[in-house]
Chains A and B, each alone.
Chain A
Amino acid sequence: MRYYRSHVMVCTSPQCVDKGARTLMKRLQEELAAQGLADEVAVLETPHIGDCANGPEIMVYPDRVHYAGLTLEDLPSLVEEYFKKGRVVTRLLSQFRPPVDKELGPPKPKEVRVVLRNCGKIDPENIEDYIAEDGYQALAKVLTEMTPEQVIEEILASGLRGRGGAGFPTGRKWQFCRAAAGSPKYVVCNADEGDPGAFMNRRVLEGDPHSVIEGMIIAAYAIGASYGYIYCRAEYPIAVRTLREAIRQAREYGFLGQNILGTDFSFDLEVRMGAGAFVCGEETALMASIEGKRGHPRTRPPFPAVSGLWGKPTNINNVESYAVVPQIILKGSAWYASMGTATSKGTKTFALAGDVNNTGLIEVPFGITMREIIYDVGGGIKGGKGFKAVQTGGPMGGCLPAAYLDVPVDYESLTSAGSIMGSGGMVVMDEETCMVDIARFFMEFIQDESCGKCIPCRVGTRHLLEILERICAGLGKPDDIEELEHLSSLIRRSSLCGLGQGAPNPVVTTLRHFRSEYEAHIYDKRCPAKVCRALIRYEIDPAFCTGCTLCARNCPVNAISGERRQPHTINQELCTRCGICKQVCKFDAVTVS
């Protein structure tokens, strides 16, 4: 193979061709030859760069210099100045910038971007951008240099664990599926991402779709699959569109379809849109949904690796699990395993939310402490308030108190603290959060999202929710805590799928770490965080009240009375505890108790 120091991509979109891109390409080749550069600079076609409106345009790799609005007259000087002397011709530079990633700013302190490395950097709709970042090199490597067994060995050695929730070793999963009898085999990518507030997977799908596609092709090669599905939630229309375009381009370049890269390995892929239910992210429900059935989980075993889609061996992984595979193959398992802790290797993305200064998407190596995530990456608690708890693992996760701030974040330590890693939801709560209310909130979500198939989850979580609602409403009974524990334990042990088994987690962890708050609600009829409406009183401190009448005028139920310039009072019978008076008072005269 000849080695070129530069590759010039000439955009041959219909628009650019109209503007003379083909002639330009020919003349550019001639000019390069004339100046003796034909062996150093290769000229290739590309279907799309982005600035077609100012075409014709070219992109030069590896420098990523983008020229547009070129005329034939520009060519001699361009070749001379840029290709020969290495001076960028600013006059001809394209003004076009690929849409910047608003959701993903520059890396924050202590972030390490592996999964997200290309997001915001490349144009997701242009496969060549991905190729320029070593894209599909890993695929070429496995197809030409590695046996399927070696691929699995490499993934095993990297220590990669599933990023969808349970953290099952990805290599082991592939091994089971490879060993399973039956054909055809399928690979499925779980892009249902239903955790409220989570968008880690969406970012990758929208920003770097080919990394997922390449990971899936490699997985298919490793297990011997011939077809794949990406199951993407319908709420992600841009991700679906981006993926479809990426699949189209990958097919065009021969990375998908028959005889990939000239080998006898064939594989193709399609996107399926989710049915909009949280439970469809559970792998057996997801597969039922792909088969066109109601999205209900089924019992395992048999596991999907043995009997999955249409009863055939199926490998199912999360978006993030697939997305890192190409890099592990290219850079080696040792590189990947050098990040993280003894049992959790590599990096993990999190959607950092709640009461921190920098909310948003982050990627950090395993082993980082919660304190580092919250105070360094997240920039600390908003408004300088105190930290109270962090919720990890989504609706089936748990709430951890300050005592766990210095525990290294990995699968095992989160589990032993009573929470889970989950798929990367992370909600930080400040001191003004009521933990009973939080448990109630998550249980409401679970009750809404329970599929209703099995009894413990369908009915049991309803009783849990009713008790929590009662406690928040100030109607808690002395044996409620015991009842919550009893229900939680039985729901966890007797539910069918991970949703029901994990559903009690928010209750169990808040009971374990914040029991006194429950007791205050139940025995003292008091909400220490002053959140539960039924348990608080708004009062006006006569020492501060100036009688400005602002609160009285704003109260929606006319519960405030008082003469102008005289201290006002709140009628507790009428007050609905909406808190507007406290918000509008300019003199901090309204207090909560």
Chain B
Amino acid sequence: MSEVHLTINGLQVTAQSGQTILEAARAAGIDIPTLCHHPMLSNHGACRMCLVEVKGMRTLQTACTCPVAEGMEVQTETDEINECRKFSLELLFSERNHYCMFCQVSGDCELQALAYRYGLDHWRYPRPYEKMAVDASDPYIIMEPNRCILCTRCIRACAEIVANHTLGLRERGSATMVMADLDVPLGQSSCVECGVCLQVCPTGALIDARSAYGGHAEEVTHTQTTCMQCSVGCQLDVISRSTRILRIHGVWNTEPGGGLLCVDGRFRPLYETRERIAQPLVRDHGKLVPAGWTEALAIVAKKLKSGRVLGLASGATSNEALVAFAGLMAQVGGKAGQTMPALPTLGFGQPAAVQDILATDYIIVAGANPLVYQKVVGYLIRRAADRGTPVALIDVPRGGLEASAVLSVSGQYAATVTEQAAQAQAPLIIYSVGLKPGVARALKPLAHARWLALAPGRNSLGARAAGLAPLEGHDLTSSRFDVLFFLLGEGSEEGGVMPRLDGAFKIVQTAYRSPLAEEADVVLPAPIWAERSGHVTNLEGKTLPLNPVVPMPDGVRDEAEVLDTLRTMM
């Protein structure tokens, strides 16, 4: 990298060699319009919005692709440039259906904004478009090809950010259109519904099925919080209008994921179908009936004082709640732990961050299935593989990553992987609960490796930090315990340890109706992710903030507050 000096509109600008004119101009505060360009994606140069004049060059150049050079003289706003920009916009408006008044992104659309900027007040060219069929086969994403401007942002995002390569172009020339796989409906394609394409589309061509027509940019609120659906801890930009959450975007350039989200973080929480519990419930004549907080807490306090208590936490809650829970259990002399399985330790090497997946020269995935359980990590591994980083799998169930791997073996052949990775400068071992001791031993010669341990469940590291160890293998029977306190949060009880304590008195603190809640003697309502304040600990061990997007419903109280109240009652 060396410094390069150029002038833009007569202004002296210093840039780094290798930068584009666009980057140099934006760094210097000079605005150049763009449409197909997206800072998270490779440069495309197709929309012609960023055309600039470079002295000595035969044709106008696209600022987003043209590298800066010493002594370059650039003009960004001549009459000719503006005429060309306007021309492309007018052509786009003639190509397909851009009647903004019917479009859900009207007001938030990058194409529309440029049309205002360049004074498009009438249709300059005839509009010959033929109507194309809308693809609503996917539950979350609707493709409306009649509004597509073929900027290929979605295609590049699917390939470069998620490494899923679902989207592509069919045909050529004026018949060109975005397609999924070999032109199948999106809902039947290889799409993993990460929604990154939706987030980068500059127009209304990719529609969020849930929030369409729900609110414009100036009517909505943005709240940044941490995703609680798995242990990765991606940063969310939650877009809401009063108490309704419209949609969720990733936050570009934030750790751990870089802005990428998966279906579990972006869509599923907004399509929740479980029934919410909005006030305490107590069992009365065999049936669960609504009760007041005072009544319910009094029953719970009485049982905790008198019983032999087992406390179980699922990890689907905040660090603050987990600490309060552990404290309460200690105070009542109960046994407490978490339902998640234990995460082995490797015994050598240095810990790594999620973003290091993109900065290593050999990746070993052992005893883990990130494409299913920590999807964003899985996508990043595939992205690294696309860039040529070798990926080796040990004891990884079939399910997608093998397509990116150079080698896939079962644990007994782990030494083969060690051999292959021996040449690497900075190998990265990504493992999870399936890592066998023999495999860890076989990998040991890679002493210089870094590792990323994929903590199971959601906030299992937060639970461990609170002193709630995994209870796998412990004797959790009714002969030892007669009161069970389950801090379930918004999780479901599937996955993890489930003791069958027949005849025990059961207290469940949870957000949703579930089979476990149905069995309970007292149910204490809990908040969900969008209502929480506090923190979680992600798989890198970082403490990340939870910020409330919407208020808790009346009748729901924060778990930590409830647990602290119980402590004062002991």
B45:A298 contact, CB within 8 angstroms: yes
Smallest Cβ-Cβ distance to A498: which chain B residue: B59
Render A434-474 as a binary contact track against B, CB cut-off 8 A, 1 for contact. Answer: 00000000000001111111111011101100100000000
Measured in the bound complex, the distance between the Cα atoms of B48 and A200 in whole Å is: 35
Measured in the bound complex, the distance between the Cα atoms of B45 and A453 in whole Å is: 9
Please provide the chain B residues from 402 to 431 with a CB less than 8 Å away from any CB of chain A in the complex. none
Measured in the bound complex, the distance between the Cα atoms of B47 and A277 in whole Å is: 22
**B36 → chain A closest CB, angstroms:** 9
A450:B92 contact, CB within 8 angstroms: no
Measured in the bound complex, the distance between the Cα atoms of B92 and A277 in whole Å is: 24
Q: Does A490 contact B (CB under 8 A)?
A: yes
A458:B60 contact, CB within 8 angstroms: no
Q: Does B549 contact A (CB under 8 A)?
A: no
Smallest Cβ-Cβ distance to B177: which chain A residue: A452
Q: Does B12 contact A (CB under 8 A)?
A: no
A455:B46 contact, CB within 8 angstroms: yes
Smallest Cβ-Cβ distance to A294: which chain B residue: B169
Measured in the bound complex, the distance between the Cα atoms of B66 and A494 in whole Å is: 15
Smallest Cβ-Cβ distance to B62: which chain A residue: A299
Q: Which of B45, B66, B128, B175 has the most CB of A within 10 A?
A: B45
B174:A299 contact, CB within 8 angstroms: no
Q: Does A104 contact B (CB under 8 A)?
A: no
Chain B contacts for A448, CB-based, 8 A: 173
Chain B contacts for A496, CB-based, 8 A: 45-46, 48, 62
Q: Does A478 contact B (CB under 8 A)?
A: no
Chain A contacts for B95, CB-based, 8 A: 455, 458-459
Chain B contacts for A298, CB-based, 8 A: 45, 65
Measured in the bound complex, the distance between the Cα atoms of B150 and A451 in whole Å is: 12
A456:B88 contact, CB within 8 angstroms: yes
A459:B91 contact, CB within 8 angstroms: yes
**A167 → chain B closest CB, angstroms:** 13
Q: Does A292 contact B (CB under 8 A)?
A: no
Instruction: Out of B46, B59, B61, B172, name the residue touching A454 (CB < 8 Å).
Output: B46
B65:A451 contact, CB within 8 angstroms: no
Instruction: Out of A302, A447, A466, name the residue touching B173 (CB < 8 Å).
Output: A447
A458:B67 contact, CB within 8 angstroms: no
A490:B87 contact, CB within 8 angstroms: yes
Smallest Cβ-Cβ distance to B175: which chain A residue: A452
B67:A494 contact, CB within 8 angstroms: no
Given the known A-B contacts A299-B65, A451-B173, A459-B91, are A494 and B47 also in contact in the complex, defined by CB atoms under 8 Å?
no
A494:B172 contact, CB within 8 angstroms: no
Q: Does B213 contact A (CB under 8 A)?
A: no
Chain B contacts for A294, CB-based, 8 A: 168-169
Chain B contacts for A453, CB-based, 8 A: 46, 150
Please provide the chain B residues from 167 to 186 with a CB less than 8 Å away from any CB of chain A in the complex. 168-169, 171-176
**B367 → chain A closest CB, angstroms:** 34
**A445 → chain B closest CB, angstroms:** 11
Q: Does B207 contact A (CB under 8 A)?
A: no
Measured in the bound complex, the distance between the Cα atoms of B172 and A277 in whole Å is: 9
Smallest Cβ-Cβ distance to A483: which chain B residue: B125
Render B60-76 as a binary contact track against A, CB cut-off 8 A, 1 for contact. Answer: 11100111000000000
**A172 → chain B closest CB, angstroms:** 15
Measured in the bound complex, the distance between the Cα atoms of B95 and A466 in whole Å is: 13
Measured in the bound complex, the distance between the Cα atoms of B51 and A369 in whole Å is: 40
A-B contact count (CB 8 A): 92
A493:B80 contact, CB within 8 angstroms: yes
Measured in the bound complex, the distance between the Cα atoms of B60 and A466 in whole Å is: 27
Instruction: Out of A279, A299, A455, name the residue touching B61 (CB < 8 Å).
Output: A299
Given the known A-B contacts A451-B173, A493-B59, A494-B48, are A456 and B87 also in contact in the complex, defined by CB atoms under 8 Å?
yes
**B74 → chain A closest CB, angstroms:** 13
Q: Does A347 contact B (CB under 8 A)?
A: no
Chain A contacts for B61, CB-based, 8 A: 299, 301
Chain A contacts for B60, CB-based, 8 A: 493-494
A460:B80 contact, CB within 8 angstroms: no
B67:A463 contact, CB within 8 angstroms: no
Instruction: Out of A450, A463, A493, name the residue touching B125 (CB < 8 Å).
Output: A463
Please provide the chain B residues from 52 to 110 with a CB less than 8 Å away from any CB of chain A in the complex. 59-62, 65-67, 80, 83-84, 87-88, 91-92, 94-95
**B56 → chain A closest CB, angstroms:** 12
Smallest Cβ-Cβ distance to B173: which chain A residue: A450
**A262 → chain B closest CB, angstroms:** 34
Measured in the bound complex, the distance between the Cα atoms of B446 and A333 in whole Å is: 60
Please provide the chain B residues from 131 to 175 with a CB less than 8 Å away from any CB of chain A in the complex. 149-150, 168-169, 171-175
Given the known A-B contacts A447-B173, A494-B84, A496-B46, are A460 and B91 also in contact in the complex, defined by CB atoms under 8 Å?
yes
Chain A contacts for B515, CB-based, 8 A: none
B91:A452 contact, CB within 8 angstroms: no
Smallest Cβ-Cβ distance to A501: which chain B residue: B59
Given the known A-B contacts A450-B172, A463-B126, A494-B84, are A455 and B66 also in contact in the complex, defined by CB atoms under 8 Å?
no
Measured in the bound complex, the distance between the Cα atoms of B152 and A52 in whole Å is: 57
Chain B contacts for A494, CB-based, 8 A: 48, 51, 60, 84, 87-88
Chain B contacts for A463, CB-based, 8 A: 91, 94, 125-126
Measured in the bound complex, the distance between the Cα atoms of B91 and A13 in whole Å is: 63
Render B439-473 as a binary contact track against A, CB cut-off 8 A, 1 for contact. Answer: 00000000000000000000000000000000000
Measured in the bound complex, the distance between the Cα atoms of B151 and A66 in whole Å is: 63
Measured in the bound complex, the distance between the Cα atoms of B522 and A92 in whole Å is: 112
Given the known A-B contacts A494-B84, A501-B59, are A452 and B47 also in contact in the complex, defined by CB atoms under 8 Å?
no
Chain A contacts for B88, CB-based, 8 A: 455-456, 494
A447:B174 contact, CB within 8 angstroms: yes
Chain B contacts for A459, CB-based, 8 A: 91-92, 94-95, 174
Smallest Cβ-Cβ distance to A460: which chain B residue: B91
A454:B169 contact, CB within 8 angstroms: no
Chain A contacts for B172, CB-based, 8 A: 277, 279, 449-452
Chain B contacts for A451, CB-based, 8 A: 172-173, 176
Chain A contacts for B83, CB-based, 8 A: 490
**B534 → chain A closest CB, angstroms:** 47
B128:A450 contact, CB within 8 angstroms: no
Q: Which of A294, A447, A451, A462 has the most CB of B within 10 A?
A: A462
B48:A458 contact, CB within 8 angstroms: no
Smallest Cβ-Cβ distance to A458: which chain B residue: B174
**B378 → chain A closest CB, angstroms:** 24
Please provide the chain B residues from 111 to 143 with a CB less than 8 Å away from any CB of chain A in the complex. 125-126, 128
Chain B contacts for A493, CB-based, 8 A: 59-60, 80, 84
**B464 → chain A closest CB, angstroms:** 45
**B206 → chain A closest CB, angstroms:** 19
**A382 → chain B closest CB, angstroms:** 34
Smallest Cβ-Cβ distance to A453: which chain B residue: B46
**A461 → chain B closest CB, angstroms:** 8
Q: Which of B47, B62, B88, B168 has the most CB of A within 10 A?
A: B88
Smallest Cβ-Cβ distance to B66: which chain A residue: A301
B126:A452 contact, CB within 8 angstroms: no
B173:A456 contact, CB within 8 angstroms: no
29 pairs, CB–CB < 8 Å, chain A vs chain B: A294-B168, A301-B61, A301-B66, A301-B67, A447-B174, A450-B172, A452-B150, A452-B171, A452-B173, A452-B174, A452-B175, A453-B150, A455-B46, A455-B47, A456-B88, A458-B173, A458-B176, A459-B94, A459-B174, A460-B87, A466-B128, A490-B84, A493-B80, A494-B48, A494-B84, A494-B88, A496-B46, A496-B48, A501-B59
List the interface of chain B (C-beta within 8 A of A). Answer: 45-48, 51, 59-62, 65-67, 80, 83-84, 87-88, 91-92, 94-95, 125-126, 128, 149-150, 168-169, 171-176
List 18 other contacts, CB 8 Å, given A458-B176, A463-B94.
A450-B174, A451-B176, A452-B176, A455-B46, A455-B48, A455-B95, A455-B149, A456-B48, A458-B150, A459-B95, A459-B174, A462-B174, A463-B91, A466-B128, A494-B60, A494-B88, A496-B62, A501-B59
Please list the 8 inter-chain residue pairs (A to B) with the smallest Cβ-Cβ separation, ordered nearest first.
A452-B176, A459-B91, A299-B45, A494-B84, A450-B173, A299-B65, A490-B87, A455-B88
